[in-house]
Amino acid sequence: QVQLQESGPGLVKPSQTLSLTCAVSGGSITSDGYFWSWVRQPAGKGLEWIGRVDTSGFTNYNPSLKSRVTMSRDTSNNQFSLKVSSVTAADTAIYYCARVTMVDGFYFDSWGQGTLVTVSS
Amino acid sequence: QSVLTQPPSVSGAPGQRVTISCTGSSSNLGADYDVHWYQQLPGTAPKLLIYGNINRPSGVPDRFSGSKSGTSASLAITGLQAEDEADYYCQSYDSGLSGWVFGGGTKLTVL
């Protein structure tokens, strides 16, 4: 059973860069058949897909965030990361990391517990 | 405005059947991309409920079922229970955005 755990600062100042890491256990981020992704959820609102990194390290981002988002992976520590630059209050949200499975479509079959990031001075 | 449209809320009494709709377009559900459903209990991460339009992961009760036709999909819950009170989200792929998209979510209230 794969498990994901987000970590990173809970408070980021406006205009700075938000940085989060997702540690994966119970499975390798280089295993075929999966993508590794970030999803966020502002308080009281819906889910927004941010981006994904595949087993080869290639990335794909939500067009609405593409100019500010960078994802990467660290295979030696079996983790992947998210950076969002030039943050504003609109980036305040719970950030989830998740595994995407490619069987019968592409869906998020395992999720981290989420971490709240607040953008405020 | 979400790419996939869901009703903001639905409700039903215990034991009843409720359905939650998810309406897309020709660049997502209408392009034959699969739809998937998630249940989010208060204060918790989303949980996969239905994948590939109709399939239930191990451990999900058969009270939950999914269907898809054209640009629309539905999640049906029969024998409604108090523990089903949660937010429900549909999700698919959109070729115009070249990425995954979620519905805006539906809050289910068990009366």
Percent of all residues in chain B with a pLDDT value above 70, rounded to a whole number: 100
**Would you say the C-alpha torsion B105, B50, A37, A94 has a positive or negative sign?**
positive
pLDDT, residue A11, reads 97
Q: Mean pLDDT for each consecutive 10-residue tract of chain B (111 residues)?
A: 94 97 96 97 97 96 97 98 97 94 97 94
CB contact under 8 A, B46 and A111: yes
pLDDT in tens, A21-60: 999 999 999 999 999 999 999 999 999 999 999 988 899 9
Chain A interface includes B47 (CB < 8 A) = yes
When the pLDDT of each residue in chain A is averaged and rounded to a whole number, the result is: 96
CB contact under 8 A, A111 and B92: no
Whether residue A103 is predicted with pLDDT greater than 90 in this model: the reply is no
pLDDT, residue A55, reads 87
pLDDT, residue B24, reads 97
Measured CA to CA, the distance from residue B102 to residue B89 in angstroms comes to: 7
Chain B interface includes A112 (CB < 8 A) = yes
Chain B interface includes A109 (CB < 8 A) = yes
CB contact under 8 A, A105 and B92: yes
Check: CB of residue A121 under 8 Å from CB of residue A13.
yes
pLDDT, residue A93, reads 98
Q: Nearest Cα to A106, choosing from B55, B27, B51?
A: B51
- Residue A71: which pLDDT band, with cuts at 50, 70 and 90? very high
Chain A interface includes B55 (CB < 8 A) = yes
CB contact under 8 A, B36 and A60: no
Chain A interface disruption, residue of B100, B101, B106, most A CBs within 10 A: B100
CB contact under 8 A, A108 and B38: yes
Contacts of B8 in chain A (CB under 8 A): none
Q: Nearest Cα to B51, choosing from B89, B81, B17, B86?
A: B89
